[in-house]
C-alpha cells in the first residue's frame, strides 16, 4: 500500500510532475466557462448552475437572506457552535498580530514619505458546498478579511440539487460574511471577477476548490487578485527514533484522505520506525471511511523515505517545500532554523497538523505544489493594499533635482528630465 523508499529521486520526480498532471485536460473547459460568463453575465451563470448543480436559479433566489443565515447558525448543534466561536476567537487573535500599519517619516530637508495601508473594499470567498464542505475553511478565509477591515465580504458556495450545507452557512454567519451566493465552480469565480447583473465585481478572490476553481482563479488573475493556485493537500513528516509510529501514521493519513492526488511523506533515519509506521498505516487505513481516496493517494504520491540522517531529511524537505511540515523529533526547535521552505511547521509529537486545521489559530490556507518557496499562508495582510505617499517642499525638491534630471537623461527619458528642469527655471 505504501512503500519504504531508499532511492527517492524517482519518487520526488513523480511528485513534481503531479502539479500539472490534470491542468491541460481541464484548462480549455474553464476558459470557455469564464469567457461565457464574461460575455453573457447572469444568463451564463444560471445556465451553468442548472447544468452542473441540477437546479434552477434566478435573481430572486441567487443568495441567502440574512434571516436564512441566522437561522442556519442558530440551529447548529450547540457544541459545534461553541467550537466555531472558539476557532473564530483564536483565528482573529492570530490575525490581529499579522496586521501592518501605515507609516510616515519626515526627512531632514523636509521631504515627507510613507505608506498608507488600507483594506480592500470588496472581496469574494469560495467555499466548496458538495461532498467536500468545510466550515473551517469559511472561517480561515473570511476572518482575515474581517480583521483587515474589508467592508463587503461575499461568499460563493454551490448547492448540489439546490440543497445547502447548513454548517457552511452557519460558519459564514458566525464569521461576519456580508452575502452568500448559491453558485459554484469556475462560473462562480468568473462572476465575482467580472461582475454580472446580480453578482458584484470583487477586488480579490480567495478560497479552496477543485481543479476547475483553481484554474478559473488563474484565468481571471489580473481582473481580480487571488490568493494562490491551490493544489492537492500535502504533508511531510520528519521523524527520528523518538517518534511514535501510530502518531506519524495517523498524521500522514490525515492528509492522504483529502484527495486522490494528495501527498503524504514520512522521512526518517530510523529503519525500525519506517517499518513500524508502515504497519500502523495499514492498521489505521482499515479504520477510516475514505478508503478509495486513501488507497489512490497512498499508492501514487505517498511514501516513507529512509535516509542516512536527519540533516538529509531537512534537505529533502526544503526541496519539496511542503504545505504542512511536521518535525516529529526529540528536539524540534533545533531543526527550525534549518527549515527554509514550508507553508506551516508543526513542532513536536503533540502538534498534529489537524490542530492547525481547526483551532491553533494560524491559517490553514497554505501554499502547495512547492510554492512555499515564495508564497505565504493567507493572512489579514492579503486583504490590505499599500499606497506610497510622497511630498517634497521646494527646498527638498531642489536638493535632489539635478540628480533626478541626470538619471532621467541617462535612461533617455527627456520628458522626465524636462519635468524637473521646468521647476528649476
Active-site positions read: 323-324
Contact between 366 and 377 (Cβ < 8 Å) = yes
What string of DSSP letters covers 366-407?
Answer: ---TTGGGT-----GGGGEEEEEEEE--HHHHHHHHHHHHHH
Whole-angstrom distance, CA of residue 26 vs CA of residue 212: 7
Contact between 183 and 62 (Cβ < 8 Å) = yes
Cell of 406: 541626470
DSSP-H helix ranges across 286-371:
291-300, 310-320, 332-335, 353-358
**153: enclosing H helix or E strand:** strand 152-156
How far is Cα of residue 212 from the mean position of the Cα atoms in its chain? 16
Contact between 284 and 321 (Cβ < 8 Å) = no
Whole-angstrom distance, CA of residue 306 vs CA of residue 318: 16
The pair phi, psi for residue 244, each rounded to 5°, is -90, 125
Cα 88 to Cα 94, 167, 400: the distances in Å are 10, 14, 50
Cell of 232: 492537492
Classify residue 175 by its DSSP letter. Answer: H
Whole-angstrom distance, CA of residue 399 vs CA of residue 417: 15
Cell of 70: 441566522
Amino acid at each position: 500500500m505504501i512503500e519504504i523508499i531508499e532511492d527517492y529521486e524517482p519518487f520526488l520526480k513523480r511528485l513534481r510532475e503531479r502539479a500539472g498532471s490534470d491542468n491541460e485536460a481541464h484548462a480549455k473547459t474553464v476558459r470557455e466557462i469564464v469567457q461565457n460568463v464574461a460575455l453573457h453575465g447572469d444568463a451564463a451563470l444560471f445556465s451553468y448552475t442548472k447544468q452542473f448543480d441540477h437546479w434552477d436559479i434566478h435573481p430572486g433566489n441567487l443568495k441567502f437572506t440574512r434571516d436564512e443565515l441566522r437561522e442556519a447558525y442558530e440551529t447548529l448543534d450547540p457544541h459545534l457552535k461553541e467550537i466555531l466561536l472558539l476557532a473564530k476567537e483564536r483565528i482573529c487573535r492570530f490575525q490581529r498580530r499579522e496586521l501592518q500599519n501605515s507609516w510616515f517619516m519626515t526627512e531632514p530637508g523636509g521631504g515627507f514619505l510613507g505608506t498608507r495601508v488600507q483594506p480592500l473594499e470588496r472581496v469574494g470567498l469560495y467555499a466548496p458546498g458538495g461532498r467536500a464542505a468545510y466550515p473551517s475553511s469559511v472561517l480561515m478565509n473570511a476572518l482575515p478579511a474581517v480583521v483587515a477591515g474589508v467592508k463587503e465580504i461575499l461568499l460563493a458556495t454551490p448547492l448540489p440539487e439546490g440543497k445547502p450545507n447548513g454548517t457552511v452557512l452557519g460558519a459564514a454567519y458566525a464569521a461576519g460574511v456580508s452575502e452568500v451566493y448559491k453558485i459554484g465552480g469556475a462560473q462562480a469565480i468568473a462572476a465575482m471577477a467580472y461582475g454580472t447583473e446580480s453578482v458584484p465585481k470583487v477586488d480579490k478572490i480567495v478560497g479552496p476548490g477543485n481543479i476547475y476553481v483553481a484554474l478559473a482563479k488563474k484565468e481571471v488573475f489580473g481582473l481580480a487578485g487571488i490568493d494562490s493556485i491551490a493544489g492537492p493537500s500535502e504533508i511531510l513528516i520528519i521523524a527520528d527514533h523518538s517518534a511514535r509510529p501510530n502518531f506519524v501514521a495517523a498524521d500522514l493519513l490525515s492528509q492522504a484522505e483529502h484527495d486522490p492526488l494528495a501527498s503524504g511523506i514520512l522521512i526518517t533515519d530510523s529503519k525500525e520506525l519506517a517499518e513500524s509506521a508502515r504497519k500502523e498505516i495499514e492498521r489505521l487505513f482499515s479504520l477510516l471511511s475514505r478508503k478509495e481516496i486513501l488507497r489512490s493517494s497512498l499508492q501514487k504520491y505517498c511514501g516513507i523515505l529512509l535516509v542516512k540522517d536527519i540533516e538529509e531529511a531537512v534537505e529533502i524537505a526544503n526541496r519539496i517545500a511542503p504545505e504542512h511540515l511536521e518535525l516529529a523529533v526529540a528536539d524540534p526547535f533545533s531543526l527550525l532554523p534549518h527549515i527554509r521552505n514550508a507553508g506551516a511547521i508543526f513542532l513536536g509529537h503533540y502538534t498534529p497538523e489537524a490542530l492547525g486545521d481547526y483551532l491553533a489559530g494560524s491559517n490553514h490556507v497554505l501554499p502547495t505544489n512547492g510554492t512555499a518557496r515564495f508564497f505565504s499562508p493567507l493572512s489579514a495582510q492579503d486583504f490590505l493594499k499599500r499606497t506610497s505617499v510622497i511630498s517634497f517642499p521646494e527646498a527638498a525638491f531642489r536638493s535632489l533635482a539635478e540628480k533626478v534630471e541626470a538619471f532621467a537623461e541617462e535612461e533617455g527619458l527627456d520628458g522626465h528630465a524636462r519635468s524637473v528642469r521646468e521647476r528649476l527655471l
